[in-house]
Structure 1
């Protein structure tokens, strides 16, 4: 199958998914996605194997020594969690945003850190991992900002997907939830827009547990070298915005969210300051992942030792 045809098939699959899953009974849809996750676990392809290796590092850094059986069970749980994310993503546009906010709001921890930063007019860079349902977190945030009398949107950055029609589909999906979405490959234009939004006391949400380009910095992440993106720390240093680690996870019947206290970007030369803040962010991420390992949907290599030169270039 040619690359162009494969892209069209992928785009069509997502389009059908958004329609079919919303039309299906919730229990049936959840069961189908769970069955798919269990099949992926049994096949044990490259993604599940990488997830297992990633989770092993998280657990060992937290002081555990998991057996092969325990890692296999955790990986299966992680794939089910990832399947739940996709099932919810396909259903989310049809959900009542007020009811969703009211379901999530009682579980949000540390919201005072967000409120304090906005009250100070600093703007907020919320840095998060690929954990839980970040789209649900965004939908909650949109409604929470609206209830505070703030502009009822926040800004995020999206990786350019192929084909272009699939990228536009995901942008439209997140814009329908109230997000402002900027292209990651727009370079200086995107950075300038993010800085302008922060100076206007807005919220910028950035997923920051995987480097996508060449702009990261090497830190100690769960006891091993890994490159994480410097965007959150750079934006906070450049604009004076508060840098808040933001955690998400699933509960049996809902979602958990937590804003951590702000990370202060040190004064002094940019390089060491950004590196120090990114290291502190990595340490917070490591603790969050250890608390909810099954909800970290990281099926890609992020540690330096796992990444080939080709993967780094990509």
Structure 2
């Protein structure tokens, strides 16, 4: 298919060996996580789209392992925060400490000051502590005592959470869910992947042997190329129509926010680049819409399975919203 990209704005996928670098990352993660290629690709998509990732599922299926594997493939600073009920906001962002030598308060950065932050079991902390991440994730900065401290670039939060029916969990506030670009449910591995895991993880974890395959300069180059991927007016309009449909659907009490649509488009640009294109197709948007939008939508009625209601509503929206309303 011929590209409809504007040469003045289209991504130059030859700026760095885009395919080689991204394939190296996915291959490296694949040596640790068996049978989760789609989840690994989504994690890389979110990284390239400058978003944050929420991994949700029951304990023991590899959520933290996937997060740590992605972190190990990048030669960057990494921190891990174990969220617990007694964790304080200052334990995440940092605190100002009075220095008697200088008779002034000195800010001590918290673990959030890293390129990739693993927020493990984020929904085991109180809403007050969870809210400490809001400014970090949206504005990529921390404000303490009226002073703003910028976070490093690139900056990505990979959070894991257990289902709400698990003991000791708190629901993430809507504002925080909206800051996660994508949510992935890992699920149990298939039989072949589980057999491979039993064979390779008995005596030593493959994670210990994983080494960085790209550096910060290469990550920055990949992100620049994704930013420059061309988006036509028709695709912009398609994204907006999907968002409008979520806000008027009778089965949804809360639709997609403007932030959600912006993140959907950014993720679609990363998906296009990973597919070897320098322009976005409507199929890129439709493919990623469930991953990007489902966790942000709220059903009208609370039911035994609200996720299914949201998924059904979004599926009907994607079937009904035309790519080209003139042909709809």
Would the TM-score normalized by the shorter structure come out above 0.5? no
CA radius of gyration, larger in: 2
Query: Which band: TM-score by shorter chain?
Result: 0.3 to 0.5
Q: Which structure has greater helix proportion? A: 1
Q: What's the TM-score once normalised by structure 2's chain length?
A: 0.33
